[in-house]
Chains A and B, each alone.
Chain A
Amino acid sequence: MLIIMALLPFLGALLPSLMIRAGRNACAIFTALPTFLALVILLILSPSVMRGEVLQAELAWLPQIGLSASFFLDGLGLLFAGMILGVGLLITLYARFYLSGEDPMGQFYTFLLLFQGAMLGIVLSDNILLLLVFWELTSLSSFLLIGYWKHLPEGRQGARMALAVTGSGGLAMIAGMLILGNIVGSYNLTDILQAGDAIRASDWYLPALILILLGAFTKSAQFPFHFWLPQAMAAPTPVSAYLHSATMVKAGVFLMARMWPVLSGTDAWFNIVTTTGLITMVLGALIALFKNDLKALLAYSTVSQLGLMTMLLGFGTQVAAVAAVFHIINHLTFKAALFMTAGIVDHETHTRDIRRLGGLRHLMPVTFVIATISALSMAGIPFLNGFLSKEMMLEEASHTGLFGSPSALPILATIGALLSVAYSFRFVVHVFLGPVRDDYPHKPHDPPFGMWAAPALLACLVVLIGVAPFLAEGIVTAAANAVTGADLHPHFKIWHGFTPALWMSVVAVVSGAILLLQYGMLDRVWEALPRPEAKTIFDHLVAAVVAGARRVTEITHNGAISRYLAIFTIASVALGWVAYSGGGLGPRTRDLLAVPLVVAVGWLMLIVATGYVVVNHHHRFRALVLIGVIGLTVSAGFVYLSAPDLALTQISVETVTIMLLLLALHFLPKVTPRESSLALRLRDGAIATVAGLGVGGLAYAFLLRDTDTISDYFIANSYEGGGGTNVVNVILVDFRGFDTYGEIIVLGIAGFLIFSLMHALLDGPAAKRLRARDYSQDRSHDRHPLMMVVVTRVLMPIAMVVGIYIFLRGHNAPGGGFVAGLVVAIALLMQYMASGFAWTQARKRIEYHTLIGMGVVIAGLTGAGAWLFGQPFLTSAYTYVHIAPVEEFELATAMLFDLGVFLTVLGAVMLMLYSLSRIARFAGETVNMEPMDYDPSEHVDDGKVKV
């Protein structure tokens, strides 16, 4: 049940976006449905929780790292889940009437449900890793909600700021939670809650505390992170009412309450949390008083009230914890109602500027009543619920000392209360009282019932709890017991007698009212005072971070490949040197072999050709010829060193590469310009030499020592396991078939990429440059020489047979799909070269794209076929078949896989060369449809050749 409840909002999040097609009402109903179902489940579960039971449910997720999807429901979770779901329902109703026709409502409700699910996850998680996941989800989904009005720059900026602040706090919290989990040895919240003493005694207590508090303070907008909340007010009002009064900003308070049994009770906790809460409470209230934007006023008042709750939790006493829990409920009711009334005022008058409002009580009587009740509760007037928890706060504050001073805290708490009275009164007096004006941007009147129903319900709760506080005792007791871990039975009373708290209240209300009477004068003083603007500071901070990041990026990533290669090479050489100097190198166990004369020739060829390329690489064509020499020598070397498979592959790849480079070179300058200074070239030369010597030394060291390699395993198991005697091929298609599968996919993607890049390139300005280029080279007039055409036609079937042969025997002798694909590709390319692009293209039956796709699909299906026999992906099987006239031969599934490799290689190579050769068409070169320049068969007439 618990898991279903936690998942309902996420599942439900799919509905609104679909149901919006059925109309706005259907959309709202289907948003309310999952919320309502979850609330019903919660109500069913609540009686047992109220009795003090803790419900648990667990699903293993990643048990290896201690992450399980486990949920639990205790009193605190019940309180918060009830708030999240209950207010969620009200907000759904309110938003239905608040959002205008142009707003994408389905999207809004989807975001809302996502957020609701994330929030519900936080309060129900029994695993702190899971809690972190949900914590980040609330940051993300609130980003979407705050930035819902994408067209407004304030909305986007506010969303970004909220994400930056709460997101970085979340990062800090991840670290803190991991430390906590390490101390306890378990990531389960229920285990952690039992281990309070061990945690407080640990050396890591303070870092963990600070990191977790950073997360909580940023989320709950505590000083000095309070600035994001007012900026987030650019969100639609339902979002502000939901996220910024009832739920998200309370997540930090929730976390502090959740961790209260393990983290509180130390001096560090008291000093940090109480001081932060106190500063936030007073500062928030002070700023709120002077805000002219209705929602900004409410935002700062929320900051202040959250400070109050934080401070109460910071006290560390059980009574204070009860007061904090009680105030969470009370604040929710009046603040959500106030936000919604602010939204109504904005909706009706088209302004939220208090200076342009006033006298609304005659025009909007219903709204006026709701707003007044809620605001008076916020001010702490008797018979409203705000009074009760504020009294408890003042009572606790009156006998708590701070930093050795017994009177500092009571005085500051009274000042906080006084300011909150002042801004609450201001909300009512400056908006609703006073004379009716005739210059509202829009003539206001009360909204439809659907819009004021939700705040009216909340206002009823405000009065109900205020008059009959015992109604809330049950849930507060359950939650407070869950927070403190004790068995408390608090009783709420309206009248406590003439206590210090009462006098503090009286002082606060009277002075608050006086303050408001003097508002005009105070406002001028406030405006004249210099004060730091949080948004500007934040913007500068972000700009500085961005600039710093950019500087680092520009130093390391300046776009010059020479720098990247230099950094990479130096790092590799340094690592190699560290490994070498570590002394892990054993003594030599082998002797040098004699060098035959011909091999020495090959060695000399490699050295000379390589050196020549280095010196002459500016002449691109000459360098290409030299690369041909190197490729040839390396291929011959592979043959000599008993790697015929490699040799076959290498020589084919060389040929294809040369053709590719020649195709490209036609459209490139034939000489590379000299771009680096002499010093730079010397530096690069030195680096290259050192790296080359390093690699050479490494190879030398390895060749002289016997090392254990995995080759022995492959050789031993190749036939038995893979059914082939060619170890190289068995490795490719069997042992490491998954690797090969990935590689052919990459190869296919590379082919497509070149194709589409070329497409994009030739559609762009490059095509114009290509056409404008001068190709007036002195060209031979033999465009498609007869000789060459005939030879390539004859070679075609031979090459195909060779390709098929190499493919078929690949499993047992040198060859395989890869080489075969290259050989066939070369055979086809010869036709392209001999008879031209258009003629060959016209005879192509299958698109190269299709070949690639077929190859990957065949290989994939072969691999998946193993599943049918209950084997893991790509398990191969083989058997021997005997058909009468043919010798006995082997059939292996690996061959089918190899067919996939073959097709992909063929398709990819052809697609690449095809793409490159298309450039010429775009450059305006002509094609011819004839197979050759001079076709003798067309000119034969009675044995005589026409001229």
Chain B
Amino acid sequence: MIEYAIFFAGICYGAALLLDLWRIAVGPDAADRILALDTMVVNVIALLVLYGLWRGTAVYFEAAMLFAMVGFVSTVAYCRFILRGDIIE
């Protein structure tokens, strides 16, 4: 049963990724793109967790944690760039 759930969830997150990609491609402005990229990071993290569940190992969970920790930093950096120009003031 869990396989089906994982498969279904995977399909959903995959579709979400494609939608993110679409948003990044068409914009129209920088904030849209940054938000889409951040969402993309979240979706990838979700996929990593799903993959870990499917393979039954904790290694991927850790990787997902690290993605979460550093992924947010680049989002902040992009945002600071469009808000203030200089990311380290």
Interface residues, chain A, CB within 8 Å of chain B? 597-598, 601-602, 604-605, 608-609, 612, 621-622, 624-626, 628-629, 632-633, 635-636, 639-640, 644, 647-648, 651-652, 654-655, 658-659, 662-663, 665-666, 775, 777, 779-780, 782-784, 788, 795, 798-799, 802, 813-814, 823, 826, 829-830, 832-833, 836-837, 913, 917, 920, 925, 927-928
The verdict on A651 contacting B66 (CB below 8 Å), with A598-B11, A625-B78, A782-B83 known, is yes
Shortest beta-carbon distance from A817 to chain B in Å: 15
Among residues of A, the one whose C-beta sits closest to the C-beta of B18 is A601
Q: Once bound together, how far apart are the Cα atoms of A623 and B40, in whole Å? A: 16
Contacts of B63 in A (CB 8 A): 639, 644, 647-648, 814
Once bound together, how far apart are the Cα atoms of A823 and B62, in whole Å?
Answer: 14
CB-CB nearest 8 A-B residue pairs: A780-B83, A917-B88, A601-B14, A598-B14, A655-B70, A832-B88, A598-B10, A625-B33
Main secondary structure of the interface of B (DSSP, over half): helix
- The answer to whether A666 and B14 touch (CB under 8 A), given A628-B37, A655-B73, is no
**Given contact pairs A659-B74, A788-B76, A920 touches B89 in the complex (Cβ within 8 A):** yes
Tell me which residues across on chain A come within 8 A of B70, comparing CB atoms: 651-652, 655, 823, 826
Contacting A at CB under 8 A, from B1-46, are 10-11, 13-15, 17-18, 21, 24-25, 27, 30, 33-34, 37, 40-41, 44
Give the residues in chain B near A659, CB-CB below 8 Å: 73-74, 77, 87
B30 nearest CB neighbor, chain A only: A621
For window 37-84 of B, CB contacts with A under 8 Å fall at 37, 40-41, 44, 47-48, 51, 59-60, 62-63, 65-67, 69-71, 73-74, 76-78, 80-84
A779–B84 CB distance below 8 A: yes
Chain B: minimal CB distance from A468 (Å): 91
Contact of B69 among A628, A647, A658, A802 (CB under 8 A): A802
Q: How far is the CA of A802 from the CA of B70 in the complex (A)?
A: 11
Of the A-B pairs whose beta carbons lie under 8 Å apart in the complex, a sample of 10, sorted by A's number, is A597-B11, A605-B17, A625-B30, A625-B33, A651-B67, A666-B85, A775-B85, A814-B63, A823-B70, A927-B89
Q: CA of A928 to CA of B77 in the docked complex: distance in angstroms?
A: 19
Inter-chain contact A625/B24, CB cutoff 8 Å:
yes
- Nearest CB in chain A: distance from B3 CB, A: 13
A736 to B21, CA, bound (A): 40
Complex: A663 Cα to B73 Cα, angstroms: 14
In the bound complex, do residue B14 and residue A639 qualify as a contact, i.e. CB atoms below 8 Å apart?
no
Q: Quick check: B67 and A635 within 8 Å, CB to CB?
A: yes
Whether B89 pairs with A644 at a CB distance below 8 angstroms is no
A625-B37, A629-B24, A654-B74 known; A639+B51 contact, CB < 8 A: yes
Q: Is the CB of A777 within 8 A of B33?
A: no
Measured between alpha carbons, how far is A626 from B40 in the docked complex, in Å? 12
Whether the Cβ atoms of A662 and B78 lie closer than 8 Å is yes
A644 with B81: CB separation less than 8 A: no
Q: Which residues of B have CB within 8 Å of A927?
A: 89
A598 engages B47 (CB within 8 Å) = yes
- Pick from A629, A639, A648: contact of B37, CB below 8 A: A629
Residues in B whose Cβ lies below 8 Å from that of A663: 86-88
B14, B21, B77, B82: the one within 8 Å of A833 (CB): B77
Cα–Cα, bound, A658→B48 (Å): 22
Q: Which residues of A contact B11 (CB under 8 A)?
A: 597-598
Among A604, A662, A798, contact of B81 (Cβ-Cβ < 8 Å): A662
Q: Is the CB of B80 within 8 A of A833?
A: yes
Give the CA-CA distance A624 to B17 in the complex, in Å.
Answer: 18
Contacts of B47 in A (CB 8 A): 598, 636
Is the pair A608, B21 in contact by a Cβ cutoff of 8 Å? yes
Q: Are B81 and A666 in contact (CB under 8 A)?
A: yes
Contacts of A829 in B (CB 8 A): 73, 88
> In the complex, which residue of chain B has the Cβ closest to the Cβ of A658?
B74
B59 touches A644 (CB 8 A): yes
Known: A622-B30, A625-B37. 18 other contacts (CB 8 A): A598-B13, A601-B15, A608-B21, A612-B25, A622-B33, A632-B41, A652-B70, A655-B70, A655-B73, A663-B88, A777-B85, A779-B83, A780-B83, A784-B89, A799-B69, A814-B63, A823-B70, A928-B89
- B85 proximity list for chain A (CB < 8 A): 666, 775, 777, 779
With CB as the reference atom, state the residue of chain B lying closest to A775. B85
Complex CA–CA separation, A834 to B17 (angstroms): 29
Inter-chain CA distance A799–B69, complex, in Å, is 8
Given contacts A598-B47, A795-B69, contact A836 B89 (CB under 8 A): yes
> Do residues B60 and A833 form an inter-chain contact, with CB atoms below 8 A?
no
Q: Are the C-beta atoms of A837 and B89 separated by less than 8 Å?
A: yes
- Of all chain B residues, the one with the shortest Cβ separation from A813 is B59
- Contact at A648–B87, with CB atoms within 8 Å? no
**A665 & B66 in contact (Cβ 8 Å cutoff):** no
Bound complex: CA of A420 vs CA of B76, how far in Å? 90
Most buried by B among A624, A625, A823, A829: A625
Nearest B residue to A830 via CB reads B73
Do the beta carbons of B24 and A626 come within 8 Å of each other?
Answer: yes
A662 cross-chain contacts in B, Cβ below 8 A: 77-78, 80-81, 87
Residues of B within 8 Å of A602, CB to CB, are 17
Across-interface contacts of B10 in A (CB, < 8 A): 597-598
